[in-house]
Amino acid sequence: MLNRQGRPTAPGLASVSAHETFTGNKALLQEEPLLFEIGRYDVTGVDLDEPQGFTPRLGGLERSDGIGLPGLSEPETMRHFVRLSQKNYGIDTGLFPLGSCTMKHNPRLNERMARLPGFADVHPLQPQSTVQGALELMNELGRWLTELTGMPAVALSPKAGAHGELCGMMAIKAAIEAKGEGATRRTVLVPDSAHGTNPATAALIQFDVKPVPVREDGTVDPEAVRALAGPDTAAIMLTNPNTCGLFEKDVAKIAEIIHAAGGYFYCDGANYNAIVGKARPGDLGVDAMHINLHKTFSTPHGGGGPGSGPVVLSERLAAFAPVPFVRTDAAGFALVEDEEGTEAFGRITAFHGQTGMYVRALSYMLSHGADGCRQASEDAVLNANYVRARLADLMSLPFGNRPCMHEVLFDDAWLKDTGVSTLDFAKAMIDEGYHPMTVYFPLVVHGAMLVEPTESESRASLDLFIATLRDLAMAAKRGDAARFTGAPYLAPRRRLDETRAARSPVLRWTPPAPVQEAAE
């Protein structure tokens, strides 16, 4: 069945799609034009008298034509931004099963703390004597991170996981150069299951990337690492738990092989949410690991805004950490800004990093306590395994039906001959009011669907999610492909050309030609 746009409608959705409206709005789903399209150019949103007796003193440089900005009243502006905000699916809207991203609840307590004026209103150029509390907080956060990970040092300033990777790998590069091995140790080993930021980071600082194949069971074989490691090995970048949701059981062995070859072990710590309080990366031979505060320690994912990716470092790398860092002495806390006389590789950000995220993360740690942080990890793993166990009869598990860590990876073998792809399945979840899981990552699995429910979902919330996926899965297997291939049917926008949007973004608005009303 086709609707008015000539698109197929899903069974049971025909009456909804056929109900076109005059405005294009669908009840609470409102069309939202750009501000430039809403506003008028001959009015302003405020009443200002024409200035009288005013002589410009700009030497003839004053603007002679209109500024070209739309005039809008406060209610018009307010509605625009509130409507836009309502188009966002967020962790406060519903379950957000994106694997690898750890979309957990952001406790409101953290927000309260981050808004305390003593943290929110300080300026990075203020005299340090006036921000002792903020520096103490950074010091305390660093203490928690080093204690939890069993690593002696931390660089707080990186502003994302990927930025932390760059920081850790630059420290490794500096350590290699300090030993005079810069010209020879140029290879970084990266397993095929790695996040794209890992090889990108290594390549960005002129390392050669050598892929390590992933074995049958989804983990890295230490013998494969041994075969590739040598005097040219600068480092391995290994994610643990890995992106297949599995703990790298031979991690200690792999560390030993890399160290014996004279290289360093960089651990991608994006999945640290699964092991906080259970395993200490320092005990596993890790030399550097970033921690995404916006994943593991529940600070908001910024949507391009502030993230935070502190890096913990081993004894061998501690000295190479970038400035600034916090130092304490009898006089109080100080931010060491000058790299002169240190082995620091330099600095990686202007100023000191994301204070607001530091406050949120420490607030989360203190309110949970060490035992609470451990329980969060245990519950994250429990929730993922509950999802796995309840879907294993319908959806296929590439590495067998055995326990996973905090996320469960399905492939698309179970969709064979249904006419439904991983992408279609994900789009149909949107009609059901869910953000899709991570799809087509990791690359080592065909048509990957990576589901991470997080610990912050209740049993009831998981049961509804599972029931929804079961209903969809059974519909796919029944041959109801139309429910999927045209999905989403109920979203304000349907299938967007994401590739074209990424490759040729249109960043400039051009006013449309004025519309003439047709003469009667």
Instruction: Classify the C-alpha dihedral 222-224-227-231 as positive or negative.
Output: negative
Q: How far is the CB of 160 from ligand PLP (least distance, A)?
A: 4
Q: Does 270 bind ligand PLP (CB under 6 A)?
A: yes
Query: Interaction with ligand PLP in 302-321: which residues (CB under 6 A)?
Result: 307, 309
Query: Residue 351 contacts by C-beta under 8 Å, 6 or more apart in sequence?
Result: 124, 157, 324
200 or 334, CB closer to ligand PLP? Answer: 200
Report the candidate in 304, 295, 322, 278 with the shortest Cα–Cα distance to residue 96: 295
Give the tokens for residue 211. 């892929």
163 or 483, CB closer to ligand PLP? Answer: 163
Contact of 399 with 409, CB cutoff 8 Å: yes
Query: Interaction with ligand PLP in 139-198: which residues (CB under 6 A)?
Result: 160-162, 195, 197
Please give the size of the binding site for ligand PLP, defined by CB under 6 A.
14
Q: How far is the CB of 214 from ligand PLP (least distance, A)?
A: 14
Report the candidate in 205, 209, 225, 193 with the shortest Cα–Cα distance to residue 165: 205
DSSP-assigned letters across all residues of 112-124:
HHHTSHHHHT--T
**Which one among 110, 187, 240, 292 touches ligand PLP, defined by CB under 6 A?**
292
> Helices marked H in 392-495 — which ranges?
422-431, 459-478, 482-485
Q: How far is the CB of 293 from ligand PLP (least distance, A)?
A: 9
161 or 168, CB closer to ligand PLP? Answer: 161
Q: How far is the CB of 266 from ligand PLP (least distance, A)?
A: 11
- In angstroms, rounded to a whole number, what is the distance separating the alpha carbons of residues 420 and 10? 14
292 or 383, CB closer to ligand PLP? Answer: 292
Q: How far is the CB of 269 from ligand PLP (least distance, A)?
A: 8
- In angstroms, rounded to a whole number, what is the distance separating the alpha carbons of residues 363 and 412? 40
- In angstroms, rounded to a whole number, what is the distance separating the alpha carbons of residues 4 and 8? 9
Alpha carbon 2 to its chain's center:
38
309 or 447, CB closer to ligand PLP? Answer: 309
Q: How far is the CB of 162 from ligand PLP (least distance, A)?
A: 3
Contact of 515 with 38, CB cutoff 8 Å: no
Contact of 276 with 377, CB cutoff 8 Å: yes
- Which residue number has the CB closest to ligand PLP? 161
Contact of 269 with 242, CB cutoff 8 Å: no
Q: How far is the CB of 292 from ligand PLP (least distance, A)?
A: 5
Q: How far is the CB of 305 from ligand PLP (least distance, A)?
A: 12
Give the tokens for residue 89. 């699916």
105 or 390, CB closer to ligand PLP? Answer: 105
**Which one among 17, 243, 377, 396 touches ligand PLP, defined by CB under 6 A?**
243
Residues in a beta bridge with 154? 312
Q: How far is the CB of 364 from ligand PLP (least distance, A)?
A: 17
Q: Does 273 bind ligand PLP (CB under 6 A)?
A: no
- In angstroms, rounded to a whole number, what is the distance separating the alpha carbons of residues 353 and 365? 19
- In angstroms, rounded to a whole number, what is the distance separating the alpha carbons of residues 323 and 459? 45
165 or 424, CB closer to ligand PLP? Answer: 165
- In angstroms, rounded to a whole number, what is the distance separating the alpha carbons of residues 415 and 204? 38
289 or 420, CB closer to ligand PLP? Answer: 289
305 or 332, CB closer to ligand PLP? Answer: 305
358 or 414, CB closer to ligand PLP? Answer: 358
Contact of 253 with 222, CB cutoff 8 Å: yes
Q: How far is the CB of 356 from ligand PLP (least distance, A)?
A: 15
Return the amino acid letter for 73: S
Q: How far is the CB of 63 from ligand PLP (least distance, A)?
A: 41
**Which one among 32, 248, 268, 407 touches ligand PLP, defined by CB under 6 A?**
268
Contact of 425 with 476, CB cutoff 8 Å: yes
Query: Interaction with ligand PLP in 61-120: which residues (CB under 6 A)?
Result: 100-101
3 or 100, CB closer to ligand PLP? Answer: 100
**Burial of 237 by CB count in 10 Å (0-12 exposed, 13-18 middle, 19+ buried)?**
buried
Contact of 421 with 412, CB cutoff 8 Å: yes
218 or 488, CB closer to ligand PLP? Answer: 218
Q: How far is the CB of 411 from ligand PLP (least distance, A)?
A: 18
**b/e per residue, 385-395, with b = 16+ CB within 10 A?**
bbbbebbeeeb
**Which one among 239, 273, 296, 354 touches ligand PLP, defined by CB under 6 A?**
239
Residues at the interface with ligand PLP (CB under 6 A): 100-101, 160-162, 195, 197, 239, 243, 268, 270, 292, 307, 309
